[in-house]
Amino acid sequence: MDIRTIGIIGAGQMGSGIAQVCATAGYSVKLSDINAEQLNAAVAGITRNLDRQVSKGKCEPADRDAALSRIATGTSLDIHADCDLVIEAATESEELKRAIFKQLVPHLRPDAMVATNTSSISITRLAASTDRPEKFIGMHFMNPVPVMQLVEIIRGIATDESTFLSIRDLTAKLGKTAAIAEDFPAFIVNRILLPMINEAVYTLYEGVGGVEAIDTAMKLGANHPMGPLELADFIGLDTCLSIMQVLYEGLADSKYRPCPLLVKYVEAGWLGRKVGRGFYDYSGDMPRPTR
């Protein structure tokens, strides 16, 4: 399919980032969210990002203005009626995503493709909640989307070849590199990354080291750009916990059991940067460890 108009469901950090890269690549974008304030915040954030690119000489003012003009927003799913592809980028909850797809498909053209930005959930199961599993695929962008170069592409059992080829070509046109993953829990990146983060939380939980010691050890000892606990805060501790639960339940292996301390932080609402508190407290000028 010749993709020209791309719908995006969810105007949070991931959805707005996907909208930005699609619009700057020349695609017409229809961004939807149930919260009008979130949509306004997303457009404002995209504008700031593009203004920053202009100030650095990486983007011409005319190109910024053209990209912004390609983004339309709405609080109803009927905004996606003329889309060639709709990418779902809602919260990492299977129940929520399945509900969205059931509400979405009556608005779509019969030939429209559907992708999910899920970071861990079965593509085959999500596809089964639609009327077009052959046109359904996983398209997992990395965060922050405008900066990170990778997109994991995951076929469900019913995904046909033409859908896969269209999404692979789109990924290249967005300036991203595709990694093709099989439909197993958490795919490639999070299958490797999240158990490392979970082990870092266990290391904290068992008193082997404090927050700063653990992050410093991995930054300087393994040459990681961010420590695992700092990274967990950046991802969102609720998202980390959700992915670990998918791994634990999907693979039935005790090595994926979420650390009780991670569960406790999520129960406390200490979800990381997005709420100002996680393994670090972000209320001051500099982040301070909470343990």
Catalytic residues: 119, 140, 152, 190
Instruction: Please state, in angstroms and rounded to a whole number, the distance separating the CA atoms of residues 22 and 8.
Output: 10
Nearest to 175 by CA among 63, 24, 59: 24
Residue 125 DSSP SS3: helix
Element (H, E) at 7: strand 5-9
C-alpha 41/C-alpha 157 separation (Å) is: 37
Cα separation, 162 vs 139, in Å, equals 15
Burial level of 76, CB count in 10 A (0-12/13-18/19+)? exposed
158 touches 127 (CB < 8 A): yes
The beta strands (E) that lie in 20-161 are given as: 28-32, 71-74, 85-88, 113-116, 136-141, 150-155
Cα dihedral sign for 139, 143, 146, 150? negative
3-state SS class at 75: coil
How far apart are the C-alpha atoms of 119 and 188, rounded to whole Å? Answer: 9
